[in-house]
Amino acid sequence: MKSIGQSLPRVDARDKVTGAALYSGDLSMPGMLHMKTLFAGRPHARVVSMDTSAAEALPGVALVLTAKDVPVNEYGLQRKDQPALCGPAALTPGPSPKEPPKNGGGRERGVAGDIVRCEGDLVAAVVAETEAIAAQARGLIRVEYEDLPAVFDPVEAMQPGAPLLHPEFGDTNVCVLDKIRKGDVEAAFARADVIVEGEYRTPFQEHAYLQPEAGIAYLDEEGRIAVQCAGQWTHADRDGIAHALGLANEQVRVIYPAIGGAFGGREDLSVQIVLALAAMRLKRPVKIVWSRQESIVGHCKRHPMTLKTKWGATKDGKLLAAETTIIADGGAYLYTSNKVLGNCTITATGPYFIPNVKEDVYGVYTNNVPSAAFRGFGAPQALFMAESQMNKLAEKLGMDPVAFRHLNALRDGDTLNVGTPAPGPVSIVQCIEAARDRFHWDERRRTKDGGIRPSSFVRGRGFAAGFKNVGFSFGYQENSWARVEIHGKTGIEQVVVWHAGAEVGQGTHTVLAQFAAETVGVPFEKVTMVTSDSATMGNPGSASASRLTFMAGNAVKGAAEAALAKWKAGERPAIAEYTYLAPKTTPFDKETGHAMPNLSYAYVAQAVELELDLETGFIKILRVVSADDVGQAINPALVEGQIEGGVVQAAGYAITENFISKNGRILTDQLSTYLIPTVLDIPDAVESVIVEVAEPNGPYGARGLGELPLLPLAPAITAAIHDATGVWFDDFPLTPERVLRGLGKI
Amino acid sequence: MTTHTHPTLPEFDYIQPKTLAEASQFLAQHPDEARPFLGGTDVFVRMRDGFLTPKFLVDVKNLDGTNDLRFDPQAGLTLGAAVNMNRVIASPDVQEHYPLLAEACRLVASYQLRTRATVVGNICNASPAGDTIGACLALDGVLHVHGTGGLRREPLATFFLGPGKTTLKPGDIVTAVSFPVPPKGCAGAYLKLGRNKLSDLSLVGVTVLGSPDPGLPSRFRFRIVLASVAPVPLVAAQAEAVLAERAVAPESIRQAAQLASEASTPIDDVRASARYRKLMVRNLTEMALTEVWKKLQK
C-alpha cells in the first residue's frame, strides 16, 4: 500500500502517449475566431501613430486590438512595467489602487504605454474568422515609429546618460541591487596564501519548450472570461490578466490544459492578456498559436551575466574570502529579475563556508529581450563562477578538486553569505561523496588515456557542486492550497485531490496523488486528481523554484490528514481543505544582505568525463554522474527523469545553445539556428545517484529537485576541458569555434 | 522585420500531371507561379516560413521512370527523381558500386526526412550545403532533363550557378540523375561537420573520391568537392591537381588540404565564422584524403 518512494506510473502517461491529452494548441470550440499578434520588431521606439483601418476593413476581420483598447495597459509579475500592447492611448495608466506597494516601488506614474522597449513588445492583435485572414490583416497594419536611442550592454546601461528605459522608476536603469557584507574581505585577502581572480561570462538561454505559446479564451457558463493556456501558476496568471482588463480577479478564470514544458519561461504572461481581451470584447472564443519563431522572440530568456570575482584561501586549503561583482542583463522589463538575482546572490559563494564575503549584484534594464526565470533561477550563472573558482584554487593549491570541496563544504550550522545558517540538514558533503564514489573519481583521475583513436581526441574529467533554495521565499510567505475528498460508505472507495499546481511535465500530479494515497492509506489507484482551474481551487503557488513537491506536497498531506480525521469521525464524504504556510523567511538587509532568506535548500554534485576533438573543437560528453539530494524520492523514476533532463538541458546550455542577439534583434530565432541537443548529442551515460537526507519541514522528508541537475554541469565541463587541455574556459557555450579559439588554434 | 512564421502551410493548388509533356507544359505556362515538387522537405519548410509562395506545386513523382533505381554493369546507375534517400542507402547496387553516395545520403538530416528527401531534389535545390551533391559531382553525375523541347542530358559539373540557381528553365523537370560505372578500385569519403549530430545543415562538408589512374604522374586521381564554403558546391581543382602531379604522401595531402582551404570562400553567419569554416576545410580535407588514401592502399 505504501506509495511514497515507489516508481508508480504517471497519472497522465496514458493520455499523453495515446495523444488523448489536449495541449493548448489542440483546443478548439464552435464559433472560434483566430488571433495573430504583431511584434514591434525594433528595440526602442515611440509609437507615433497606428493605422488599422485597412486591417479592419478586410472581410473576415472581427477585431483589431491596440493599446487604446487595453483597460489597464500594464502587466508584470514583480513590477507592472510592461504595456500589454504598445501604442498611443487615451490614458496613461497610473499605479492601480489594487496594486501592492512592492510592485509599484513608489512610482508616481505608470509605464509609458506608447514606448516599445524590446523587439518582442506587442503593438497589435488581430482577430479574424480564419488564421490566414488574421495573418493577412496583420500585414495591413501601418505603424509609424520614432526610433529612440537604445542600449544593449548592461554595463553601458548603468552609465549616467545612458538611454533610460523606465523613468517611472527613477533615473537609473539599475532595477536590482543586492549586497552582501559579511566579515572583512580586505583583512582576509591580506592573510590569504593563494588568491584567484576571475571574470566570467554566461550566455542567454532559450527555454525551447516543446510547445510554443498557444491558448484559447472564451466566456464560461458563468460569464467569466476563461483562458486556457499553458502557464506555471494559475492564480498569478489570473490576477495579471484581470488587472490589465480592469476586472476583479474572480471575473477571470485560468485553466491549464496539458503543458508541453515550461522551465520558467511560462512564469510571465505572453498571449493571455490580448486573448482574454478579445474574448471579452467579442463574446466569442478566440484562439492563438504562436510559431516557434514568435515564441523565441516573444518570451523571456535566462539572464546573461558578467561575474567578476576574487577568492582567497590558506595554503591548507581553507577558504577565507570571496569578493564578487555581478552584472546581469535584465532586458526591457523586470519580470522576475529581482527574485532570480536574489538566488544568484546567495549561491555565488557555492555550497561552501566562506567567513568573509562581499558581493554587489546588479540587474540592469536594457533594450534586449527580457531576462527572467529559467530552471536554476540565477544559480547556474553564480555557480559557474563559484565552481570555476574552486577548480582553479584547487589547482593553485595542488589539491584534488574534490578533496578541496570536501574540506570547505558547508556543514550544519555554518553560516551562508547572508550571515545565517541554512536551515535543515546540510547534505552537500553526502552529495560530493556520492558523486565521487560512483564516478570512481580517484581512479579515473589517474587514468592515462593513451590509445584513443583518432589521435586528435583528448579526454578529461571534471567535478562541480551546487545548491539551491527551495521556494521563492526572501520574505514571501510561501503557501499552497489543497482539497482532499474521501468517498465511500464503509470502506474508502475513492480519494479525490483538488489542486491547481501546474503539471509542466515534471510529474507533479502523480507525486501529489502519491502523497494523498500515502497519507490516507489507500492504494495509489484509488486517487483521482482534479487539477489546475483557478475558479474551483485555491492558490497552489508557482511550479518553479523547485518548490511544488515541497509546498503542494505539504498542502495535500495536510488536507488528506484533515479529511482522514473527518472520515474517522464518520463524515461521508469526508472533505477537507488546507492551506500550507511554510516557515517564515526574511528579505536581504539592504546594506549587508543579512537575512534568513529561505526555509530549505537542496544540494547536488556532478562528475563529468568528456572527449574533445582538437581538430574540430567538438566536445562529446561520455559520462555524467549526478548526485542530487532530494530529501526523500517520492517517485524515483520521476527523479531520474528530472536528473537526466536537467543534465541534457545543462549540456545544451554549456555547449550547443548559442543564442545570438545583435542590437536587440534575436538572430537565432528558430530551432535550426538555436540548437538544443538531439538524441545523438546527449551524454552517452547519465548516472543518477539519489541522495536522501530528509528535510524535517518537507512532506515525508522531501526537498526540491527540478533545478538541481542543471546547476553544476557547465563548470564541471570546463574543468574536464582543462583536465584534457590545460586551458580554462571562463565563458560558454563551448561551441567548436570558441573551443578552438581558446586553444589558440584559430 | 521578423518574418512571422505561419504554423501551417499557406494554400496552394496541387497539380498531378499525367505525362512529362503535360508537366513541362504546365510549368512553362506558369513560370512564376508553379514549382516542380518531389519530397517537399525543403519546399514545405520554405512555404511555411513565407519564403516561397507558389500557387501550384506540380508533383512529378509518378511520371515516367521517376521511381526507378537501375544499375547496369556497363551503363552505370540511374536514380529516378522520386527515389528517396533511404531507398538509395538500402540498394545493394549502390552499396556495392557507389558506397560514397550511400554514405552521403546517410548524413542528410534524419531517417524520417530521408524517407521523403530525394537526391535529385537535393541537387535541384542547389544549396551549397547539399550533402549529396559532392558525391554526385565526384561520381560524374549527369542529369536527365525533360523540358518543353523534349529530353536532354546536362552534366552536373556545369549545372550550379549560385545559391538556389541552376541552368534549369521554366518547364524543365529533372527526371533522373545517372552515374557512369565508377573507376575500378576507387574509394571515397564524405566528412560532414554540423553543430549537432542529427539534422543540422553542414557547416563544412568534404567529399573525396580517389582512384588508381596509371596515366597520371602520381598514378592516382582524386576528386575533392567542398560543401557550404562557396556560393556553389566547390570542386577544389588546384588541390586535385597537386595530388595528380605529386606522389601521394602526408606532405602532399597537407598541401592539397591547404589549397582546398584557400579555394574556399565561406561566409560568416550565426552558425559559424568564415575563419572557422576555412580552417575546417583544411582539417577535414586532410582527414578525408588520409582516410581515402588508406583505403586505396589496401
In a domain, B116, yes or no: yes
Q: Is the link from the previous residue into A149 a cis peptide, with omega within 30 of 0?
A: no
Pick the last residue of a domain from B158, B179, B200.
Answer: B179
User: Starting at the edge strand that comes first in sequence, how are the strands of the sheet with B142-147 ordered?
Assistant: B69-72, B76-80, B173-179, B142-147, B150-155
Closest to A39 (Cβ–Cβ): which among B2, B11, B276? B2
Predicted pLDDT of residue A473:
93
Determine whether the interchain pair B196/A132 forms a contact, defined as Cβ–Cβ distance below 8 Å.
no
Helix axes A713-725, A636-651, angle to 10 degrees: 50
A658 touches B: beta carbon within 8 Å: yes
In a domain, B55, yes or no: no
Q: What cell numbers appear for A661 in the block?
A: 542577439
> Do A543 and A501 form a contact (C-beta atoms < 8 A)?
yes
Nearest Cα of chain B lies from the Cα of A616 at a distance, in angstroms, of 7
Same domain, B171 and B248: no
Closest to B7 (Cβ–Cβ): which among A291, A673, A675? A291
Amino acid at A401: P
pLDDT band for A450, please (50, 70, 90 cuts): low
In a domain, B119, yes or no: yes
Q: Which of B116, B133, B145, B118 is closest to B23 using CA atoms?
A: B145
**Chain A residue at shortest CA distance from B280:** A616
Closest to A616 (Cβ–Cβ): which among B11, B198, B283? B283
Q: What cell numbers appear for A356 in the block?
A: 568573509
First to last CA, chain A: 62
Residue B112 to residue B85: CA distance in whole angstroms: 10
pLDDT band for B9, please (50, 70, 90 cuts): confident
The whole-angstrom distance between residue A672's C-alpha and the CA centroid of its chain comes to 23
Answer yes or no: same fold for A13-20+473-581 and A305-472+590-742: yes
Determine whether the interchain pair B272/A672 forms a contact, defined as Cβ–Cβ distance below 8 Å.
no
Pick the last residue of a domain from B150, B179, B208.
Answer: B179
The yes-or-no verdict on residue A360 having pLDDT over 50 is yes
Same domain, B141 and B172: yes
Q: What cell numbers appear for B25 in the block?
A: 507544359
Residue entry with cell 549526478? A626
Nearest Cα of chain B lies from the Cα of A287 at a distance, in angstroms, of 13
Residue B48 to residue B15: CA distance in whole angstroms: 19
Residue A323 to residue A310: CA distance in whole angstroms: 5
Determine whether the interchain pair B276/A41 forms a contact, defined as Cβ–Cβ distance below 8 Å.
no
Same domain, B159 and B221: no
Same domain, B237 and B154: no
Q: Which of A302, A307, A245, A311 is closest to A272 using CA atoms?
A: A245
Cβ neighbours of residue A57 closer than 8 Å, sequence gap 6 or more: none
3-state secondary structure of A688: strand
Q: Which of B218, B186, B222 is closest to B100 using CA atoms?
A: B186
The domain spans of chain A are 13-20+473-581, 24-150+213-293, 305-472+590-742
Per-residue model confidence as pLDDT tens digits over B158-179: 999 999 999 999 999 999 999 9
Cβ neighbours of residue A463 closer than 8 Å, sequence gap 6 or more: A391, A401, A402, A405, A435, A436, A439, A441, A605, A606, A607, A608, A716, A719
Residue entry with cell 573551443? A739
The yes-or-no verdict on residue A215 having pLDDT over 60 is yes
A299 touches B: beta carbon within 8 Å: no
Beta strands in B66-219 (DSSP E): 69-72, 76-80, 142-147, 150-155, 160-162, 165-166, 173-179, 187-193, 204-212
Closest to B4 (Cβ–Cβ): which among A291, A675, A680? A291
Closest to A291 (Cβ–Cβ): which among B6, B195, B284? B6
Q: Is the link from the previous residue into A285 a cis peptide, with omega within 30 of 0?
A: no
Domain of residue B240 covers: 187-297
B10 touches A: beta carbon within 8 Å: yes
3-state secondary structure of A217: strand
Predicted pLDDT of residue A96:
53
In a domain, B130, yes or no: yes
Specify the CATH architecture of the domain A24-150+213-293: Alpha-Beta Complex (3.90)
B199 touches A: beta carbon within 8 Å: yes
Taking CA atoms, A134 is separated from A33, A56, A67, A281, B192, in Å, by 9, 10, 18, 17, 42
Strand-pair partners of A301: A371
Residue A469 to residue B130: CA distance in whole angstroms: 49
What does the pLDDT average to over B205-219? 97
Determine whether the interchain pair A293/B3 forms a contact, defined as Cβ–Cβ distance below 8 Å.
yes
**Which stretch of DSSP H or E encloses residue B35?**
strand B34-37
Q: Which residues of chain B neighbour A673 with C-beta distances below 8 Å? A: 270-271
Q: Which residues of chain A neighbour B11 with C-beta distances below 8 Å? A: 132
> Do B84 and B38 form a contact (C-beta atoms < 8 A)?
no
B5 touches A: beta carbon within 8 Å: yes
B59 touches A: beta carbon within 8 Å: no
In a domain, B41, yes or no: no
Cβ neighbours of residue A42 closer than 8 Å, sequence gap 6 or more: A116, A119, A145, A147, A664
pLDDT band for B50, please (50, 70, 90 cuts): confident
Predicted pLDDT of residue A394:
98
pLDDT band for A229, please (50, 70, 90 cuts): very high
Predicted pLDDT of residue A90:
59
Same domain, B191 and B140: no
The yes-or-no verdict on residue B10 having pLDDT over 90 is no
The yes-or-no verdict on residue A59 having pLDDT over 50 is yes
Report the mean per-residue pLDDT for chain B: 94
Determine whether the interchain pair A746/B279 forms a contact, defined as Cβ–Cβ distance below 8 Å.
yes
Q: Express as a percent the part of chain A with pLDDT over 90.
A: 95
In a domain, B44, yes or no: no
A291 touches B: beta carbon within 8 Å: yes
Q: What cell numbers appear for A666 in the block?
A: 534575436
Determine whether the interchain pair B6/A135 forms a contact, defined as Cβ–Cβ distance below 8 Å.
yes
Give backbone dihedrals phi and psi of B252, rounded to 5 degrees, phi first: -70, -35
Residue A662 to residue A737: CA distance in whole angstroms: 19
Q: Is the link from the previous residue into A167 a cis peptide, with omega within 30 of 0?
A: no
Predicted pLDDT of residue B3:
41
The whole-angstrom distance between residue A177's C-alpha and the CA centroid of its chain comes to 20
Q: Which residues of chain B neighbour A740 with C-beta distances below 8 Å? A: 276, 279
Determine whether the interchain pair A616/B193 forms a contact, defined as Cβ–Cβ distance below 8 Å.
yes
Nearest Cα of chain A lies from the Cα of B109 at a distance, in angstroms, of 11
3-state secondary structure of A671: coil
Q: Which residues of chain A neighbour B287 with C-beta distances below 8 Å? A: 454, 615
Q: Which of A513, A739, A452 is closest to A614 using CA atoms?
A: A739
Cβ neighbours of residue A569 closer than 8 Å, sequence gap 6 or more: none
Per-residue model confidence as pLDDT tens digits over A382-441: 999 999 999 999 999 999 999 999 999 999 999 999 999 999 899 999 999 999 999 999
Pick the last residue of a domain from B123, B156, B179.
Answer: B179
The yes-or-no verdict on residue A98 having pLDDT over 70 is no
B196 touches A: beta carbon within 8 Å: yes
Q: What cell numbers appear for B250 in the block?
A: 602526408
Residue A507 to residue A200: CA distance in whole angstroms: 35
Determine whether the interchain pair A678/B199 forms a contact, defined as Cβ–Cβ distance below 8 Å.
yes
> Do B75 and B32 form a contact (C-beta atoms < 8 A)?
no
B275 touches A: beta carbon within 8 Å: yes
What does the pLDDT average to over A97-109? 49
Helix axes A337-347, A379-397, angle to 10 degrees: 20
Which residues in chain A (437-456) have CB-CB distances under 8 A to chain B? 454
CATH number attached to the domain at A305-472+590-742 = 3.30.365.10
Residue of B53, B195, B290 to mutate, interface with A, max A Cβ within 10 Å: B195
Give the domain CATH number at B216.
3.30.390.50
Residue A313 to residue A389: CA distance in whole angstroms: 11
Determine whether the interchain pair A680/B280 forms a contact, defined as Cβ–Cβ distance below 8 Å.
no
The yes-or-no verdict on residue A108 having pLDDT over 90 is no
Determine whether the interchain pair B196/A678 forms a contact, defined as Cβ–Cβ distance below 8 Å.
yes
What does the pLDDT average to over A13-31? 95
Residue A634 to residue A77: CA distance in whole angstroms: 31
**Which stretch of DSSP H or E encloses residue A612?**
strand A601-613
Q: Which of B21, B17, B57 is closest to B40 using CA atoms?
A: B57
Amino acid at A306: T
Strand-pair partners of A143: A50
DSSP at A307: E
In a domain, B286, yes or no: yes
DSSP at A113: T
> Do A469 and A423 form a contact (C-beta atoms < 8 A)?
no
- Cβ contacts below 8 Å, chain A against chain B, sum to 81
> Do A604 and A688 form a contact (C-beta atoms < 8 A)?
no
Q: What cell numbers appear for A104 in the block?
A: 509599484
Residue of B1, B3, B4 to mutate, interface with A, max A Cβ within 10 Å: B4
The yes-or-no verdict on residue A452 having pLDDT over 90 is no
Closest to B280 (Cβ–Cβ): which among A294, A616, A679? A616
Same domain, B220 and B141: no
B53 touches A: beta carbon within 8 Å: no
* From the candidate CATH numbers 3.30.70.360, 3.20.20.70, 3.30.365.10, 1.10.1060.10, the one assigned to the domain spanning A13-20+473-581: 3.30.365.10
Q: Which residues of chain A neighbour B270 with C-beta distances below 8 Å? A: 658, 660, 667-668, 673
pTM score of the predicted model? 0.95
Residue A320 to residue A312: CA distance in whole angstroms: 5
Residue A267 to residue A237: CA distance in whole angstroms: 8
Q: Express as a percent the part of chain A with pLDDT over 70.
A: 97
> Do A594 and A655 form a contact (C-beta atoms < 8 A)?
no
Q: Which residues of chain B neighbour A291 with C-beta distances below 8 Å? A: 4-7
Per-residue model confidence as pLDDT tens digits over A147-163: 999 999 999 999 999 99
Residue A394 to residue A396: CA distance in whole angstroms: 5
A120 touches B: beta carbon within 8 Å: no
Nearest Cα of chain A lies from the Cα of B177 at a distance, in angstroms, of 29
In a domain, B260, yes or no: yes
Amino acid at B279: L
Q: Which of A232, A246, A381 is closest to A299 using CA atoms?
A: A232
Closest to A293 (Cβ–Cβ): which among B5, B11, B271? B5
Nearest Cα of chain A lies from the Cα of B60 at a distance, in angstroms, of 28
Determine whether the interchain pair A740/B279 forms a contact, defined as Cβ–Cβ distance below 8 Å.
yes
Residue A297 to residue A396: CA distance in whole angstroms: 43
Per-residue model confidence as pLDDT tens digits over B247-286: 999 999 999 999 999 999 999 999 999 999 999 999 999 9
B3 touches A: beta carbon within 8 Å: yes
Domain count, chain B: 2
Residue B270 to residue A48: CA distance in whole angstroms: 33
- Plot region of A413 (φ>0 → left; ψ -120 to 50 → alpha; else → beta): left
> Do A72 and A113 form a contact (C-beta atoms < 8 A)?
no
What does the pLDDT average to over A292-298? 96
What does the pLDDT average to over A599-609? 97
Cβ neighbours of residue A579 closer than 8 Å, sequence gap 6 or more: A479, A480, A481, A482, A538, A555
Q: What cell numbers appear for A636 in the block?
A: 524515483
Strand-pair partners of A421: A415
A672 touches B: beta carbon within 8 Å: yes
